[in-house]
Chains A and B, each alone.
Chain A
């Protein structure tokens, strides 16, 4: 789960990590009022949950009230990668002489939290990682020790020579690590962390992502979630025990298991089609799930054909078949359905499917090919 910059910086502030004086605003008038209070220059920054706002023109410096109003007028309502900007952060403009990157994330390989630090701050860290990976220093944090003062010092000395800055950094790094742990974060970034003209460290921008698996014990963070339209549909599906992601294709798929669901999408692509979605109905045998899954697929007007691919382990194929028949009785399905059932109780399941006069196939490959054949208006081009 992601939160906005202003929310991340509220967390920083709570942990006494120095941030700019700032306030989130929803209207041009509010921006003008806050800018007046802060004094000029101010920076007006779009608050959206996607990256690349700078390049999209979502960050503007304003040296006067006129400029602040103009910046707010341009940014509020702007579209950034499909997200409409509904709020902006107005922050004091700060003079600084150097900028750095610091961040914490989970490293799969070392199975630890790692601290990343770079003197190449203020630019997208992914770019630095690609072009100059040696410029990012990485430190594995032992979960038993946490961020020890010696470790924080070691990192700080990689970035700063001035002992006054090192001391500030040691304090800041320890607080940042504690924030990461306390909130079950998956990413905390300050980019840039600047040294102001007065010789103080200050977080100009902040980013936090959280571990979805831990939201149950972080209710205050879960409450900050702002799902977009697609995500709302995903959450709705999740409440019914379905893992769903909408895509742009025409072949709707229903699969048990995430890996098999991905492989099914790949198979559709292999035979020249485009999957309309990722849909994992999970490992249980509840026929009602199949009904909900069919409703979900039918709600997508791009779906021209449905491909059901089940490999029964815990899931029993006859339960899936029964669920499908119930679904067809309950909802109006006027597009072709291809069913592939293998594994536990496949024979019984296929019998039920055959009685309903639905086409059955023997393998994943055949299912994808049959789906393509039945799909009117689906591209036959292999790419």
Chain B
């Protein structure tokens, strides 16, 4: 088991012929992901890397049974691509594009909720279930199959953390990059519950950062609903207020959304917060030992 994606995932790539779409399609395929179709309006009927290309998501889903879609289209068109995926019969959309206007995401997430369709991102590195499926731009070689579930608002910081886990013998069930935008798809609470319900996941790592209060809400949710051990890390303790730290959502505004508040919220509910990435595997091992 794992969450969201596995060896039964049938992946569609929206924007398969673009520069990024094309590059990462090859990487995902090499990792062993079952890529069944691509969409590129006007290029229907062609094949790309041996994968059939369609003009619309609907056609692609009807012809191939694709159930998951990864979106590489440029930001101005990404909101529409998410809507098309949901309308076309996709169950899980993963939007990599960075710079999608917030109101486009408001519209898209509202529509997906009505349709019962899940979304990861936008502005995210995607997700991976090691040895089964890679749906994203994560470097597959650093991951190892195992029992730690991980979720993160950042990309390379996730790689840093995963590398710590893997080199310390802690494999992963599924790792999800939820993205750095203020309005995004699945977030901490939904993913915490999925990991809680996943028999393969034994411990959860949550990597947050400054901005908003999702970490505080996650802490409350963990207290009420999660029985598995959770370890957290918060980036941005030295970030100045009022400045957007690379990610659109990473900003301390009007004195709220600070790392200190988030760390305090986790510690108040008994979730240990690592001060350095190297502490993550140590804390996970301690909690697992205590539990067994």
Contacts and interface: CB of A to CB of B under 8 A. Distances in A.
Contact of B156 (A181, A216, A256, A267): A256
Interface stretch (A7-15, A23-31, A59-67, A106-114): A106-114
B76 A270 contact: no
Contacts of A267: 276
Interface stretch (B5-13, B137-145, B198-206): B137-145
Nearest to A129: B254
Interface in A257-279: 257-263, 265-270, 275, 278
Contacts of A113: 103, 106
B103 A278 contact: no
Contacts of A258: 154, 180, 245-247, 250
Interface string A290-319: 000000000000000000000111110000
Given A109-B217, A364-B160, A257 B154 contact: yes
B284 to A, nearest CB: 18
B63 interface: no
B103 to A, nearest CB: 6
Interface in A31-72: none
Contact of B155 (A108, A214, A283, A344): A283
B49 interface: no
B228 interface: no
B107 A143 contact: yes
Interface in A68-103: none
Contacts of B247: 258-259
A144 B238 contact: no
Contacts of A236: none
A365 B106 contact: no
Contact of A261 (B75, B153, B246, B249): B246
A163 to B, nearest CB: 32
Contact of B101 (A108, A143, A211, A262): A211
Chain B's interface: helix, strand, loop or mixed, by majority? Answer: loop
Given A109-B214, A214-B102, A343 B142 contact: yes
B182 interface: yes
B286 interface: no
Interface in A211-265: 211-214, 216-217, 243, 245, 247, 255-263, 265
A377 to B, nearest CB: 19
A343 B239 contact: no
Contact of A213 (B100, B106, B107, B158): B100
Interface residues of A, number: 53
B183 A111 contact: yes
A309 to B, nearest CB: 9
A257 B155 contact: yes
Contacts of B237: 265-266, 269
B244 interface: yes
Contacts of A211: 101-103
A156 B13 CA distance: 47
Interface string B217-259: 1000000000000000101111110011111111000110001
Given A108-B214, A258-B245, A263-B235, A312 B106 contact: no
Given A144-B110, A217-B101, A363 B235 contact: no
B276 A365 contact: yes
Contacts of B152: 259
27 contacts: A108-B214, A109-B214, A111-B109, A126-B255, A143-B110, A186-B102, A213-B101, A214-B104, A247-B240, A257-B154, A258-B247, A259-B152, A259-B156, A260-B235, A261-B246, A262-B236, A262-B239, A265-B236, A266-B236, A278-B246, A283-B156, A311-B160, A314-B137, A343-B159, A344-B139, A364-B276, A364-B277
Given A265-B237, A280-B246, A312-B139, 15 more contacts: A108-B213, A108-B249, A111-B105, A111-B110, A112-B110, A143-B110, A184-B103, A213-B181, A258-B247, A259-B246, A259-B247, A262-B157, A283-B137, A313-B125, A364-B160
Interface of A: 106, 108-109, 111-113, 126, 129, 142-144, 181, 184, 186, 211-214, 216-217, 243, 245, 247, 255-263, 265-270, 275, 278, 280, 283, 311-315, 342-344, 363-365
